[in-house]
Amino acid sequence: MAAKQILVIDEGTTSTRAMLFGANGKLHGSQQEELQQYHPAAGLVEHDPVEIWDKTLRCCQKIVEQAGGAEKIAAIGITNQRETIVAWDKRTGEPLCNAIVWQDRRTADMCNSLKAKNLEPMVQSKTGLLLDPYFSGSKINWMLQNWPKVAAAGDNLAFGTIDSYLIVRLTEGDHITDASNASRTMLMSLDGRDWDDELLKLFSIPRETLPKIVDCAGNLGKTSARLFGAPIAICGSAGDQQAATIGQGCLKKGQTKATFGTGAFILTNNGGKPPRSTHRLLSTVLYQLDGKRTYALEGSVFVAGSLMQWLRDDVGLISYAGESEELARSIQDNGGVYLVPALSGLGAPYWKADATATITGLSFSTTKAHIVRAALEAMAHQCSDLKIAFSADGTDWQSLRIDGGMVANDWMVQDLADMLNLTVERPEFFETTALGAAMLAAMGAGIYKSLEDASVMISGLETYEATIQPEQRNVRMAGWKKAIDGTLSN
């Protein structure tokens, strides 16, 4: 069993981790380091790619040592924050500038200008995405236009999402990206095998700067021998939300998961056909195996766990994450307080990049418990909005499997079941994003023949059912609608 260990790199928005899995899905070890976020101005979010690489490598080296050496590891699986863009020098792999993070809104004017030219229908038809700063294409264009060092790199210039950057550093030269990450750039058509000429022209991006698009599992490359003492095969790669969908076992059409990490992302497996949304949802590649794609319908919420982090670190209403549950339980209801967490604009189904957060219903009877509870309630409120949009697109959720750091909060999980009026299923092992990457790598390494076979790595589920009356749910949602309408009209 030792020779079948999987090293997973889980590179998130606020931390990077290396995790060691057995072929049975059991976690044997984890190393984590925090990542610094830079906010040069309102709406701007950047990372230092050197920090990302240095900390990722350090975590991996510790895990390799714990495993007993590189020869004890069958494969590496990679999962990553999506849409974040890095520019580097092809000769050295060294970054040319800070990375522009998925949360960044600096290209809002560019996206609005393209919308004004009625280009969104073409973009959505090809990519399944909407014109929003969230996606990578406009970020790459901005780098080329505004950072002289990037434009000056000429033939040596390379761009990539975080998976691509990590692979080029691990292999010391292989410039590739998997299809799930490529589908988030706004530069690849959902049914195309390569970058789309019309989209590259729209964003003025040279094709030769972009990576080769490959499967999510298989022989994706080998690490440089000098990093870990011997080469290790890279056999799995997927964007974090796709990996979590796999790690939740949503391998059949119609199965749905929600991840509550920095943001909240709900994906429904749509099988082998790209979904076409008419209600402001996204179509995305869930995974590609042997050149064949499975697709998903996605609703993206920009602020979830980052709201708790903001309440703790910047506002000081809580001193640790678990306090939010204690405060929510300490009162009977929200006291009429609603919080719309548009700290990075609003994602699905509204897509308002310039929206700002609001707290409404404050009075002298309001305590910090009411505000914190309203912040937690916003998770269920946002999910309810998405449930309506998914249903309108012909996809009704039968149940919802949840994961991510926030789902350790039992109160919030019950609130989701109450407000969605659905069975909510929480796995015993929360880190399903990393598990999905491990499943892909295990399949790519030949330990399992299929993702269905690899699903034996998944642990059991705990279920929550709705406990409130419809009248209570209706009152809550009426208050939320008033709050969100006020935010959208600002």
DSSP characters over 223-259 = --HHHHSS--BEEEEEEHHHHHHHHTT--STT-EEEE
Say what the pLDDT of residue 3 is: 60
Instruction: Report residue 62 CA to chain centroid gap.
Output: 25
- Predicted confidence (pLDDT) at residue 96 exceeds the cutoff of 80: yes
- Predicted confidence (pLDDT) at residue 373 exceeds the cutoff of 50: yes
Say what the pLDDT of residue 121 is: 94
Say what the pLDDT of residue 352 is: 87
Containing 151, the helix (H) or strand (E) segment is helix 148-151
For the chain, give the mean pLDDT. 93
Say what the pLDDT of residue 262 is: 84
Which of the four pLDDT bands, split at 50, 70 and 90, describes residue 290? very high
Say what the pLDDT of residue 280 is: 87
- Give me the mean pLDDT over the 241-269 stretch: 92
- Predicted confidence (pLDDT) at residue 450 exceeds the cutoff of 50: yes
Phi then psi for residue 288, to 5 deg, are: -130, 125
- Give me the mean pLDDT over the 260-265 stretch: 88
Say what the pLDDT of residue 319 is: 94
Task: Please tell me the CATH superfamily of domain 2-240, with its number.
Answer: ATPase, nucleotide binding domain (3.30.420.40)
* 182-240 tens-digit pLDDT: 999 999 999 888 999 999 999 999 999 999 999 999 999 999 999 999 999 999 999 99
The residue count of the chain comes to: 490
- Give me the mean pLDDT over the 454-483 stretch: 93
* 424-445 tens-digit pLDDT: 999 988 889 999 999 999 999 9
Cross-strand bridge partners of residue 470? none
257: buried, middle or exposed (CB in 10 Å: 19+, 13-18, 0-12)? Answer: buried
The SS3 call for residue 15 is strand
Give CA separation, 131 vs 37, 139, 185, 191, 332, in Å. Answer: 24, 12, 11, 19, 41
Which of the four pLDDT bands, split at 50, 70 and 90, describes residue 4? confident
* Order of strands across the sheet that contains 46-47: 46-47, 99-100, 85-89, 157-161
- Predicted confidence (pLDDT) at residue 317 exceeds the cutoff of 80: yes
How many beta carbons lie within 10 A of that of residue 332, not counting itself? 7
* 78-91 tens-digit pLDDT: 999 999 999 999 99
* 18-28 tens-digit pLDDT: 999 999 999 99
Phi then psi for residue 161, to 5 deg, are: -75, 175
| pTM of the full structure | 0.87
Which of the four pLDDT bands, split at 50, 70 and 90, describes residue 300? confident
pLDDT cut 70: percent of the chain above it: 99
Q: How is residue 153 annotated by DSSP? A: T
Say what the pLDDT of residue 460 is: 85
The SS3 call for residue 159 is strand
Cross-strand bridge partners of residue 209? none
Say what the pLDDT of residue 1 is: 40
Residue position matching structure tokens 């049914």: 191
* Amino acid (1-letter code) at residue 244: A
